[in-house]
């Protein structure tokens, strides 16, 4: 069992490392479902590539998903910069449901449509390769270094997300950069873990950390530990019960959060 879960667990460590950090930004911004929407946009791009005959795990399919994600990133950055009568979260939710429905329509006439749909939703993290982990780790390290170097600008733009004044050109630029780097992460993560697990890695460990830690450093460490333990538990359940790994990890993370929430309330 250890041999079977070694690489998936390492992939979970890589995914958790960047997603917990980005989750702090997403929660601060109050746009909780932006990751889910961008992940679904990336999945739609991959679905378009598959329908066009591109290899599911090929570079061309990845570039197609990345192009769709960049369009989504630019759109979300734009709708924040305009005077809104409709909440941004509502537009994000509409984007998610329309992209999800479009992906179902694309696969509805395909003989392998249900298999592709299942893969894009729950991923195949149990069969991740060392090469894909290495590439993803290098990409996330570069993005993490970029965010660390300009952490003041990124945290300021996230903390000012609810301000009512119109954004200046500098704010729009950093907001767009956040969504672009976010798009790189989401596109790569969806290829490994699927839409549901990507969203869970971003939000659930972050919410758990917010319950018990106040500093950014403390929340990052707590979220990382939470994500790794939940991933290990989900993989164990998946192997023993012979159920999909991604879904098992999502449920494990949700149950852990519920138990910690009950403990927090009682304390």
| pLDDT for residue 161 is more than 70 | no
Alpha helices of 108-168 — where are they, by DSSP H? 113-122, 130-149, 151-159
Q: Quick one: tokens of 190?
A: 């969806």
Give the pLDDT of residue 69: 85
Closest CA to 246 of 108, 118, 56, 100: 118
Its pTM stands at 0.81
Q: Which CATH class is domain 2-266?
A: mainly alpha
- Angle made by CA atoms 180, 186, 191, in degrees to the nearest 5: 135
Closest CA to 121 of 202, 190, 213: 190
- Find the mean pLDDT for residues 238-266: 90
Q: How confident is the model at residue 245 (pLDDT cuts 50, 70, 90)?
A: confident
- For residues 88 and 207, the model is more confident at 207
Give the pLDDT of residue 81: 58
Rounded CA-CA distance 169/154 in Å is 14
Q: How confident is the model at residue 126 (pLDDT cuts 50, 70, 90)?
A: confident
| pLDDT for residue 27 is more than 70 | yes
* Per-chain mean pLDDT for the chain: 83
Residue appearing with tokens 């098992």 = 248
Rounded CA-CA distance 5/12 in Å is 10
Is residue 82 helix, strand or coil?
A: coil
Return the domain boundaries, the chain: 2-266
Give the pLDDT of residue 55: 73
Closest CA to 15 of 246, 256, 192, 233: 192
Q: Quick one: tokens of 37?
A: 């929407």
Q: Would you put residue 177 in left (φ > 0), alpha (ψ -120 to 50) or beta?
A: alpha
Give the pLDDT of residue 83: 57
- Rg for the chain, CA atoms, rounded: 18
Q: Quick one: tokens of 208?
A: 């758990």
Lowest mean pLDDT among 37-51, 87-101, 111-125: 111-125
* 193 neighbors 125 (Cβ within 8 angstroms): yes
- Find the mean pLDDT for residues 20-45: 82
Q: Quick one: tokens of 3?
A: 């041999």
Give the pLDDT of residue 253: 94
Dump pLDDT digits (tens) for 165-190. Answer: 556 667 778 888 888 888 888 888 88
Q: How confident is the model at residue 1 (pLDDT cuts 50, 70, 90)?
A: low
| pLDDT for residue 84 is more than 70 | no
Rounded CA-CA distance 69/86 in Å is 22
């Amino acid at each position: 069992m250890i041999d079977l879960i070694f690489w998936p667990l390492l992939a979970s460590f890589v995914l958790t490392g960047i997603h917990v950090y980005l989750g702090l930004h997403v929660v601060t911004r109050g746009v909780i479902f932006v990751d889910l929407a961008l992940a679904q946009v990336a999945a739609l791009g991959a679905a378009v590539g598959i329908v066009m005959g591109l290899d599911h795990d090929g570079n061309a399919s990845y570039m197609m998903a990345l192009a769709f994600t960049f369009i989504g990133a630019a759109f979300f950055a734009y709708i924040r910069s305009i005077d809104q009568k409709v909440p941004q979260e509502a537009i994000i939710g509409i984007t998610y449901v329309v992209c999800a429905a479009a992906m179902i329509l694309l696969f509805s006439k395909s003989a392998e449509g249900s298999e592709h749909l299942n893969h894009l939703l729950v991923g195949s993290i149990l069969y991740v390769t060392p090469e894909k982990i290495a590439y993803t780790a290098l990409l996330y390290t570069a993005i993490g270094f970029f965010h660390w170097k300009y952490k003041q600008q990124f945290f300021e733009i996230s903390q000012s997300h609810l301000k009512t004044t119109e954004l200046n050109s500098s704010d729009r630029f950093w907001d767009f950069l956040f969504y672009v780097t976010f798009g790189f992460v989401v596109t790569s993560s969806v290829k490994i873990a699927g839409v549901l697990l990507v969203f869970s890695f971003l939000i659930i460990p972050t919410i758990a950390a917010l319950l018990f830690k106040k500093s950014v450093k403390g929340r990052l460490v707590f979220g990382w530990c939470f994500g790794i333990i939940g991933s290990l538990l989900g993989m164990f359940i998946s192997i023993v019960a012979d159920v999909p790994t991604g879904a098992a990890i999502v449920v494990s993370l949700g149950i852990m959060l519920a138990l910690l929430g009950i403990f927090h309330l009682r304390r």
